[in-house]
Amino acid sequence: MPSAARLFIKCLENEGVDTIFGIPGEKNLDVMDALLDSSIKFVTVRHEQGAAFMADVYGRLTGRAGVCLATLGPGATNLITGFSDANMDRAPIVAIAGQGATTRMHKESHQVLDLVNLFAPISQYSTEILEPGVVPEIVRKAFKDAQTEKPGGAFISFPENIAGSQVSETIKPLRAQAPTPSSPPYEKIGQVADLISDAKAPIIMAGNGVIRSDACDALMQFAEKLNIPVAQTFMAKGCIPFSHPLSLGTVGLQASDYVACGFDRADLILCIGFDMVEYHPRLWHPKADKKIVHIDQTYAEVDAHYVLEAGVIGNIAESLQRIEKLAKPRDVAPTSDLRKLIINELDQYADDDSYPVKPQKILYDTRQVMGTEDILISDVGAHKMWIARLYRCERPNTCIISNGFASMGIGVPGAISAKMVFPQRRVLTITGDAGFMMNSQEIETALRHNIAIVIMIWHDSEYGLIKWHQQRHFGRTGHISFNNPDFVKYAESFGARGYRVESAETLIPTLEQAFADETVVVVDVPVDYSENMKLTEKLGKLICPI
């Protein structure tokens, strides 16, 4: 008879799992042995946090649950940061951890923690396998819950004695199935269509749900038919091409900018696929005086600044297609002047040759090198704010930004996962020197698996985002400086390649060479973060055009 571990792996195969990221341990020996006879690829990483981040980005890019695995105790707790990031950013993920035998869980015991309750607050489903016969049900439920709308995390604790026990050959994996999103109610469609027809200055805020539900084409058609401008959250970048005349770019900086001016002018805000964790309504709707429409596959979160005039729950693409047939289109988009100002700002630093290199120049040149389908993974730090504002996306899921949980360290492991999902595309991560050092050990993982990624480090030897906040709030800074290794030599010590950008004019050729090398390449770019406070001062003085 097969073991529960072998049945478990069969159930993962049944769910379409092709890759697991993790580290083998003493308490997942049976699972690791069963994987030797499986079609599933196991990617051995150097830290469990890296495994969770890889599974996180895998889930974002594929829509299928990324899977990570660890042993008990410290192995499991190391998964928490990346797992939480996926759960809060609505990326499907399933985490599996070995556990001590059930015979010692009732007492103090080596490395044994209550993992189910530890993961429960940060997951949609958290459980422990206590009987070998229930493996198919638990695996099916974990993937069903992780991949639902809204997706998130599922955690499975697998005690060693249960994993090694035998099960009947009659117990098989359950058929994988998922519900079809419901059709929107007719009366709600009509209500929203009337609101759009009566509005003088409507605006769309597109959220991550538009990408998750594959509704980007429907959104663009909707905006074009009704001539309504579109702003995108950090996590929805690319759901409408930036080059589109109705695109206002990205909203969410928590400061007044030209995109925010569009919301100030609006009398109706259409929140489509919007997750409140992306950009809190009090920041873009401070007076709670505008009409809000919520169009999504799940109901709206309750908030004093997000009281709805109407809500449409159901398949997002179908909702938009039905509304556009009933609503009255407008002659001109009310924010075309704002779009011109936004484009002028993005182009302003195209020829800037100052050094260290300004963030605006780095991102302008990076966009020239990257193709429209190539993928940029943003780590978290001051650079993330610049990427969100200035990096022009033409396609969904080509700029991945962690913004719900916003965890540093996602850059390198996230890039590895992205390259595995789309090996034919260029994959770049932009990371700060602080975020890079949190998971730089995964360079070895990439090299071992022949995964060619480019790692661009914005180098300032400080926690730049915290410095930015300190300067804004207190006018002084403290405890934000640190020392770095020589990043070129550090990369070479792994067997990777490293380059240092010595002038603004060498950035593009250095990036092109890095991609041409077709290996792991670190590009060290000294950055001029004095631009952070200049931006704050500029936005503080910004007056919206009437």
For the chain (546 residues), the mean pLDDT of every run of 10, in chain order, is 94 98 94 96 98 98 97 96 96 95 81 92 97 96 93 96 92 90 91 95 95 96 95 94 92 72 89 91 89 94 94 96 93 74 86 95 96 97 91 96 92 98 98 97 98 97 89 92 97 98 97 98 95 76 64
Residues 403-462 pLDDT 10s = 888 899 999 999 999 999 999 999 999 999 999 999 999 999 999 999 999 999 999 999
CA distance 420 to 426: 11
Number of domains in the chain: 3
Q: Does 175 map to a domain?
A: no
pLDDT at 111: 78
- Domain shared by 407 and 504, yes or no: yes
pLDDT at 541: 64
Is residue 272 a contact partner of residue 232, using CB atoms and an 8 Å limit? no
- Domain shared by 109 and 30, yes or no: yes
Element (H, E) at 283: helix 281-284
Which amino acid is it at 298?
T
CA angle 411, 417, 420 (to 5 degrees): 140
- Domain shared by 375 and 506, yes or no: yes
- Domain shared by 368 and 330, yes or no: no
Element (H, E) at 193: helix 186-198
Which residue range(s) make up the domain with 306? Answer: 186-334
- Angle between helix 336-347 and helix 359-369 axes, rounded to 10 deg: 100
Domain termination site, one of 164, 194, 224: 164
Which residue spans within 72-213 are E strands per DSSP? Answer: 93-99, 125-128, 153-159, 202-206
pLDDT at 509: 98
Residues 499-521 pLDDT 10s = 999 999 999 999 999 999 999 99
**DSSP-based three-state secondary structure for 163:** helix
pLDDT at 461: 93
Q: Please report where in the chains the tokens 């005039």 appear, as a residue.
A: 309
- Domain shared by 21 and 99, yes or no: yes
Phi, then psi, of 95 in degrees rounded to 5: -110, 135
CA distance 241 to 314: 24
CA distance 27 to 142: 21
- Domain shared by 62 and 17, yes or no: yes
Task: Tell me the β-bridge partners of 97.
Answer: 70, 157
- Domain shared by 229 and 272, yes or no: yes
pLDDT at 101: 84
- Domain shared by 16 and 104, yes or no: yes
Q: Does 177 map to a domain?
A: no
Give per-residue burial for 404-441: e unless 16+ CB within 10 Å, then b: bbbbbbbbbbbbbbbbbbbeeebbbbbbbbbbbbbbbb
pLDDT at 141: 97
pLDDT at 220: 97
CA distance 265 to 89: 29
* Residues across the chain: 546
- Domain shared by 375 and 312, yes or no: no
Residues 26-47 pLDDT 10s = 999 999 999 999 999 999 999 9
Q: What is the dihedral of CA 122, 127, 128, 134, to 10 degrees?
A: -150
- Domain shared by 54 and 114, yes or no: yes
Q: How many other C-beta atoms lie within 10 A of the C-beta of residue 350?
A: 11
- Domain shared by 274 and 314, yes or no: yes
CATH number, domain containing residue 117: 3.40.50.970
Q: Does 118 map to a domain?
A: yes
CA distance 195 to 202: 9
CA distance 505 to 509: 8
